Amino acid sequence: MLSIDAKRETVPATSSNESMEVENPLTAFQSLLKEATDLLLYPEPVYELLKDPIRFLEVMIPVRMDDGNTKIFAGYRSQHNDAIGKERKTID
């Protein structure tokens, strides 16, 4: 069975929270992908092709909260492979 051996990053302390560890989703994906390609005996170029996204979109969304304050939320979308064609609802 495959396991995620994700690296942890430390988020700097702010006035509202103390320093904490969070899982990096890209690193977790790359670790799992590396384990899978090794297990399936795929050549190294397959892992190299798939480990980084070919497209990456990051947006910042301002949201007015019920109390009147505005908070900024981050949104992400990535595509790692388009070998079988475009994904649905992609942004070009």
pLDDT, position 24: 81
Measured distance CA(11)–CA(48) in Å, rounded: 28
Query: What predicted TM-score, i.e. pTM, was given to this entire model?
Result: 0.50
The type of residue at 35 is E
Q: Is 24 helix (H, G, I), strand (E, B) or coil?
A: coil
Measured distance CA(71)–CA(39) in Å, rounded: 44
76-87 pLDDT, tens digit per residue, is 887 777 766 666
48-76 pLDDT, tens digit per residue, is 988 888 888 889 999 999 999 999 999 98
Alpha-carbon 69 to chain mean position = 28
Q: Confidence class of residue 92 from pLDDT cuts 50, 70 and 90? A: low
40-55 pLDDT, tens digit per residue, is 999 999 899 888 888 8
pLDDT, position 34: 94
Enumerate the β-bridge partners of residue 76: 58
Measured distance CA(69)–CA(63) in Å, rounded: 8
